[in-house]
Chains A and B, each alone.
Chain A
């Protein structure tokens, strides 16, 4: 029997609360006078997070000519928004990084897919607009609902995956078993943790981009980037199929004669450059 949305949220009462450090980071960065020093003061309280952040900042993906060794320096060189988004991505991967006991999905491969979507969505967005950092974080978080379902509703999600394995597309399987999709569940977390509005939209509407009321360009980039990551087989979303991309979204970024193959090659190279920094390269992979 399908649970109501409220019952579903209640059954996830042990959903982790937002890490204090993110709460403080959102508060500090929302003040107009926020400086690199302020951000550094917050983030450097967590040494593990700081180390991971600096590893990502120094990865070839960001192409810095000199190594940055403090958060403050990273903020100055890369910009506050980039570092804020990086902190959000890294700390959420920490909270939801490991699988539940009876997981039906390969969580490590799932995070590789999320990273693949992030890299793809940012590259797609930047073919037409500037500043794809928000899109990157949207890519990292777009499937957070799947990880929540797999962790907190294991029996139900096992049924979803069983149906999907029989050839039913994942979204249809989720609706049949749960009455709602991972996108709707992801939105619950986005609201509870008070994610920025754009990020919430990218999580909630990445499969139905036309329904968003905010940040259509961001949502469209994640919608397109998600299928590109699957086409390039960067990690494994637990959806088997590359699903149709909405034509309006495709046309927002590509026109006839664009060098799509070149863009995809670039995305692929960037992904393999950055996966190491996120600690996601499979142990048995060729270097």
Chain B
């Protein structure tokens, strides 16, 4: 991670640490991906600099997201046969996809 001046923040950068307000409550969570609205909010609050992930760290995160997608597909393959008598129903399809995601997040 690196410290970055708020004036040089770019949309798409990811926070490497929580940002806390004066009272200590968390305003923005570690891992939040910045957009223009968030950046101008930080400027507005008078925040000077924040910790952001380096490009290498960010691409590792993206890989995690891709890995999760792969795992969800893998779980769907496992679940499809046991859902063969119900997945033509719209709400059962929702259940199957939610179960695949929940199982992928655990694996």
Please list the residues of chain A having a beta carbon within 8 angstroms of any beta carbon in chain B.
169, 227-228, 230-233, 240-245, 247, 250, 254, 260-261, 263-265, 267-269
B86: chain A residues at CB < 8 Å are 227, 241-245
Known contacts A241-B84, A241-B85: A231-B79 contact under CB 8 Å? yes
Q: Are B82 and A264 in contact (CB under 8 A)?
A: no
Q: Tell me, yes or no, whether B102 is within 8 Å of chain A by CB.
A: yes
Q: For B89, list chain A residues within 8 Å (CB).
A: 244, 247
- Which B residues between 53 and 96 are near A, CB-CB below 8 angstroms? 79, 82-86, 89, 91-92, 94-96
Closest to A231 in B: B99
Q: For A240, list chain B residues within 8 Å (CB).
A: 82
> Known: A231-B96, A242-B92, A245-B95. Is A261-B102 also a contact (CB below 8 A)?
yes
From A228, A245, A254, A261, residue with most partner B Cβ within 10 Å: A261
A253 CB to nearest B CB, Å: 11
B103 in contact with A233 (CB, 8 Å): yes
Alpha-carbon distance A240/B78, docked complex (angstroms)? 12
Point out the residues of chain B lying under 8 angstroms from A241, CB to CB: 82-86
Assuming the contacts A231-B96, A260-B95, asked whether A265 and B85 have C-beta atoms less than 8 A apart, the reply is no
Size band of the interface chain B makes with A: 20 to 34
Instruction: List A contacts of B84 (CB < 8 A).
Output: 241
Identity of the chain B residue whose Cβ is nearest the Cβ of A239 in the assembled complex: B82
**Nearest Cβ distance between residue A27 and chain B, in whole angstroms?**
41
Bound-complex Cα distance A240 to B85 (A)? 10
Closest CB of chain A to B43's CB: distance in Å? 32
Determine if B2 is an interface residue (Cβ-Cβ < 8 Å). no
CA distance A224 to B94 in the complex (A): 13
Contact yes or no, A245 B91, CB < 8 A: yes
Query: Do A232 and B92 touch (CB < 8 A)?
Result: no
Interface residue B36 (Cβ < 8 Å from any Cβ of A): no
Q: Report whether B82 and A245 are in contact in the complex, using a CB–CB cutoff of 8 Å.
A: no
Complex contact A228–B95 (CB within 8 A): yes
CB distance from B15 to the nearest CB of A (A): 22
Asked if B85 and A250 sit within 8 Å, CB to CB, the answer is no
In the bound complex, do residue B91 and residue A232 qualify as a contact, i.e. CB atoms below 8 Å apart? no
Contact string, B35-56, partner A, CB cutoff 8 A, digits 1/0? 0000000000000000000000
Extra contacts besides A241-B84, A242-B96, A267-B102 (12): CB < 8 Å: A228-B95, A230-B82, A231-B83, A231-B99, A242-B82, A242-B92, A243-B86, A244-B89, A254-B91, A264-B101, A264-B102, A265-B106
Chain B residue contacts of A263, Cβ below 8 A: 98
How far in angstroms is the closest Cβ of chain A from B100? Answer: 9
Q: Complex: how many Å from CA A263 to CA B94?
A: 13
Given contacts A233-B103, A242-B92, A247-B91, A260 and B98 within 8 Å (CB-CB): yes
A-contact 0/1 string along B7-39, CB 8 Å cutoff: 000000000000000000000000000000000
Point out the residues of chain B lying under 8 angstroms from A233, CB to CB. 103
Distance between Cα atoms of A82 and B33 in the complex (Å): 44
Identify which of B89, B98, B103 gathers the most chain A CB atoms within 10 Å of its CB.
B98
Question: Could you show 29 A-B contacts with beta carbons less than 8 Å apart?
Answer: A227-B95, A228-B95, A230-B82, A231-B95, A231-B96, A232-B102, A240-B82, A241-B84, A241-B85, A241-B86, A242-B79, A242-B92, A242-B95, A243-B86, A244-B85, A244-B89, A245-B95, A247-B89, A250-B91, A260-B95, A261-B101, A261-B102, A263-B98, A264-B98, A264-B101, A264-B102, A265-B106, A268-B103, A268-B106
Complex formed: what's the CA distance from A231 to B52 in Å?
A: 39
